[in-house]
Amino acid sequence: MKTLVVATGNPGKLKEMQRYLAETDWKLQLKPSELDVEETGETFIANARLKACQVAEATGKWAIADDSGLAVTALDGAPGIFSARYGKDDGDRIDRVLRELGPHPDRSAQFICAMVVARPDGSVALEAEGICPGEILPSPRGADGFGYDPIFFVPEANRTFAEMTPEQKHQLSHRGRAFALLLPQLQALKIG
Ligand code: IMP
């Protein structure tokens, strides 16, 4: 088995990533908890690079990081790269998006995920980006998932992320789409 250190402290993300890698010969290892990377980039891909490269360099192992978030069209792309910092907890962040959007007729939004794999020397090996288009509902629906899942409605599936099975979210989500692009490249990597 080959090991990838995953640069996240978010258990929801870790669980999803483990599913995506289930059929590969890579296994995930959580980054050391004392290793914190400041997300100072201005884009999803810049932040994913920062996290993957710094964790790889600090551990001397292959590392994977994603940076993701929700971009609401009528809010000029907010919360965007600030998605994780938009409120004190998931409920608070959802309330803020709903309050800021109010009854605005344009409900369109997208989830974006940038994914980076870094080599043990801290250089970028692979990158991929996935997007899932959807709409912001006026109130939350569904109990599964995490983050903004209950207010993110995916017309293609006629349900919110929080109403999907993990398999369905895996197929349609921004993270799933980024992984679909990354996995063949990851499998083809020559390491060691
Ligand atoms: P990151 O850890 O900086 O990438 O933070 C991403 C934030 O965006 C998370 O804390 C969530 O609030 C939100 N987010 C990212 N992906 C998802 C998802 O699949 N569902 C719901 N919220 C998400």
- How far is CA 113 from each of CA 63, 77, 80, 101, rounded to the nearest angstrom? 16, 14, 11, 22
For the question of residue 67 being annotated catalytic, the response is yes
Give the confidence band of 68 by pLDDT, cuts at 50, 70, 90.
very high
Find the helix packing angle between 174-188 and 11-21, rounded to 10°.
50
The CATH code of the domain that includes 170 is: 3.90.950.10
Identify the residue whose C-alpha is closest to ligand 1 atom 3: 67
Give the confidence band of 191 by pLDDT, cuts at 50, 70, 90.
confident
Query: Total domain count for the chain?
Result: 1
pLDDT of residue 53: 97
- Does position 6 have pLDDT exceeding 90, yes or no? yes
Q: How far apart are the first and last CA of the chain?
A: 12
**Residue 160, ligand 1, Cβ within 6 A:** no
Give the strand pairing for 159-160 and 152-154: antiparallel
4 CA → ligand 1 middle, Å: 20
DSSP 107-168: -EEEEEEEEEEE-TTS-EEEEEEEEEEEEE-SS---SSSSTTGGGEEETTTTEEGGGS-HHH
What range defines the domain where residue 77 resides? 2-188
Each residue's pLDDT tens digit, 120-169: 999 999 999 999 999 999 999 999 989 999 999 999 999 999 999 989 99
**Six token digits for residue 102:** 């109010």
Percentage of residues in the chain having pLDDT higher than 90: 76
DSSP 153-171: EETTTTEEGGGS-HHHHHH
Identify the residue whose C-alpha is closest to ligand 1 atom 11: 147
Residue 68 CA: nearest ligand 1 atom is 4
**Residue 68, ligand 1, Cβ within 6 A:** yes
**Residue 58, ligand 1, Cβ within 6 A:** no
pTM value?
Answer: 0.93
pLDDT of residue 192: 58
Identify the residue whose C-alpha is closest to ligand 1 atom 8: 69
pLDDT of residue 46: 98
79 CA → ligand 1 middle, Å: 10
Q: Which of 25, 67, 89, 106 is catalytic?
A: 67
For tokens 């197929």, the residue is 171
Among residues 169, 171, 179, which one has the least CA distance to residue 149?
169
